[in-house]
């Protein structure tokens, strides 16, 4: 036996995960993870890939042939999408209103893209007219937007109009749905979106490590007509898809058990029904928002129509200690929330209601725990009123 310190993972705590991901997992997903590994070229694994692919199409709301899952996280899917869609010299427009949209700029520039940023105030969404003005004055080939900007809790709710504008000007539209797909209504084909990616550990409640994406006809044309090879061999979708389609050409060792987990997560989505799942997220968020406001706390996103149900940003009240509060939530209640990112660091908390975690008992535990902790810090808030307001929403017929 070595002297290396040994952490007993049998006793890894079962946290209540209310950060901006990962979310809590369903027991069936854990069970799927622990099934025997088969070879990545085993006919059984190909069946798993096929069923996962079919279910991903339903989840994305698409019939796109190029729909698959990469062995990476949401950031990897962002990178994969951008390296495939951008060639050196291409003009790219990024709607920037938070940390994740800002990262799109960083990656697009590394692809050699000439990036223009639509700098939107944090807490606001990109307006179609703003995109139109940019497209009229610049030969932009790709527009990049984040559906749920997890750093602010804003939902980009005018994607269909923006897609129309993009196509009228010959630009493609790429959308990040890492924090929204499976939790918020989304329709790739109906909204005519060209490329969409997501992650596993947020609204799908599958562990981090597998990231789905889908590319439509226009995006496929871009891949076909590229004059330069995709700078990343690993993320070159023209190569990866040959592993996912009937050619079955080895590209990488498929993450077998993560694909089982993804498939089980997608079956759970299907059993619940997408519409019912969206409604569950909306209902839990409504209770959380009512509770926080009744406590006397302020939501960072002022326009209710722009509040994303899957992640809520709440302003840290005067007199409250950011780090101590989050530490107390974790240590006393086993409950994780997220701290502020970027401009909201030290000023806001990010509370996730995603996948399995978008339920009333998470809302009530968080409000009750937060109320007690803040009162103990001498911050005057109405803890009881918060619980009452949230309870009233949860008890009302939907």
Ligand X SMILES: *Cc1c(COP(=O)(O)O)cnc(C)c1O
Footprint (CB under 6 A) of ligand X, residues 212-271: none
Q: Which is nearer to ligand X, 75 or 239 (CB)?
A: 75
Considering the complex, what minimum distance in angstroms separates the CB of residue 176 from ligand X? 5
Using alpha carbons, list the distances in angstroms from residue 374 to 12, 42, 336, 339, 388.
27, 55, 16, 16, 17
Using alpha carbons, list the distances in angstroms from residue 156 to 125, 214, 241, 281, 352.
5, 19, 29, 17, 17
Considering the complex, what minimum distance in angstroms separates the CB of residue 208 from ligand X? 5
Q: Which is nearer to ligand X, 257 or 310 (CB)?
A: 310
Binding mask 149-178 toward ligand X (x if CB under 6 A, else -) reads: -x-------------------------x-x
Integer Cα distance of 130 and 158 in angstroms: 12
Q: What are phi and psi of 163, to 5 degrees?
A: -60, -40
Looking up tokens 């060639």, which residue turns up?
A: 87
Q: Which is nearer to ligand X, 176 or 356 (CB)?
A: 176
Q: What does the CA dihedral 198, 201, 206, 209 come to, rounded to 10 degrees?
A: 80
What is the total residue count of the chain?
398
**Closest residue to ligand X using C-beta atoms:** 74
Q: Which is nearer to ligand X, 70 or 294 (CB)?
A: 70
Q: Which is nearer to ligand X, 16 or 177 (CB)?
A: 177
Binding mask 176-215 toward ligand X (x if CB under 6 A, else -) reads: x-xx-------------------x--------x-------
Footprint (CB under 6 A) of ligand X, residues 62-121: 73-75, 78, 100
Binding residues for ligand X, how many (CB under 6 A)?
15
Give the relative orientation of helices 217-225 and 74-85 as an angle to the nearest 10 degrees.
60
DSSP code per residue over 237-270: HHHHHHHHSTT----S---HHHHHHHHHHHHHHH
Instruction: Please tell me what DSSP assigns to residue 307.
Output: B
Q: Is 145 in the site for ligand X (CB under 6 A)?
A: no
Q: Which is nearer to ligand X, 154 or 165 (CB)?
A: 154
For residue 372 the two structure tokens come to: 């007690």
Q: What are phi and psi of 170, to 5 degrees?
A: 75, 20
Looking at 51-59, 143-151, 213-221, 379-387, which segment touches ligand X (CB under 6 A)?
A: 143-151
Considering the complex, what minimum distance in angstroms separates the CB of residue 18 from ligand X? 14
Please, which residues have CB within 8 angstroms of residue 224's CB and are 6 or more apart in sequence?
none
Q: Which is nearer to ligand X, 148 or 268 (CB)?
A: 148
Binding site for ligand X (CB under 6 A): 20-21, 73-75, 78, 100, 146, 148, 150, 176, 178-179, 199, 208
């Amino acid at each position: 036996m070595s002297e290396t310190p040994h952490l007993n993972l049998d006793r890894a705590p079962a946290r209540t995960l209310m950060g901006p991901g990962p979310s809590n997992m369903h027991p069936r997903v854990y069970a799927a993870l622990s099934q025997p590994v088969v070879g990545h070229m085993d006919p059984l694994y190909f069946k798993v890939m096929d069923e996962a692919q079919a279910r991903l199409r339903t989840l994305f709301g698409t019939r796109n042939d190029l729909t698959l899952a990469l062995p990476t996280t949401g950031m990897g899917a962002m990178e994969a999408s951008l390296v495939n869609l951008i060639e050196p010299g291409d003009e790219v427009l990024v709607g920037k209103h938070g940390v994740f949209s800002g990262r799109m700029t960083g990656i697009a520039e590394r692809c050699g893209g000439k990036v223009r940023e639509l700098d939107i105030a944090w807490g606001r969404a990109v307006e179609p007219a703003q995109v139109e003005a940019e497209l009229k004055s610049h030969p932009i080939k790709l527009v990049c937007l984040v559906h749920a900007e997890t750093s602010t809790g804003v939902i980009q709710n005018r994607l269909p109009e923006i897609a129309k504008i993009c196509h009228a000007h010959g630009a493609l539209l790429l959308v990040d749905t890492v924090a929204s797909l499976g939790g918020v209504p989304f329709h790739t084909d109906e909204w005519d979106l060209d490329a969409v990616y997501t992650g596993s550990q947020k609204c799908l409640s599958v562990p981090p490590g597998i990231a789905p994406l889908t590319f439509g006809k226009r995006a496929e044309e871009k891949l076909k007509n590229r004059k330069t090879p995709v700078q990343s061999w690993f993320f070159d979708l023209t190569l990866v898809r040959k592993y996912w389609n009937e050619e079955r050409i080895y590209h990488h060792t498929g993450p077998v058990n993560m694909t089982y987990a993804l498939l089980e997560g997608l079956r759970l989505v299907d059993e619940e029904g997408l519409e019912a799942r969206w409604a569950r997220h909306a209902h839990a968020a409504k209770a959380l928002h009512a509770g926080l406001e009744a406590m006397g706390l302020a939501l960072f996103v002022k326009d209710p129509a722009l509040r994303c149900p899957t992640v809520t940003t709440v302003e840290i009240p005067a007199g409250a200690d950011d780090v101590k509060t989050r530490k107390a939530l974790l240590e006393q209640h086993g409950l994780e929330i997220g701290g502020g990112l970027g401009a909201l660091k030290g000023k806001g908390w990010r509370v996730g209601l995603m996948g399995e975690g978008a339920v009333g008992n998470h809302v009530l535990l968080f409000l009750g725990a937060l109320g007690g902790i803040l009162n103990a810090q001498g911050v005057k808030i109405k803890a009881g009123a918060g619980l009452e307001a949230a309870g009233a929403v949860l008890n009302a017929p939907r």
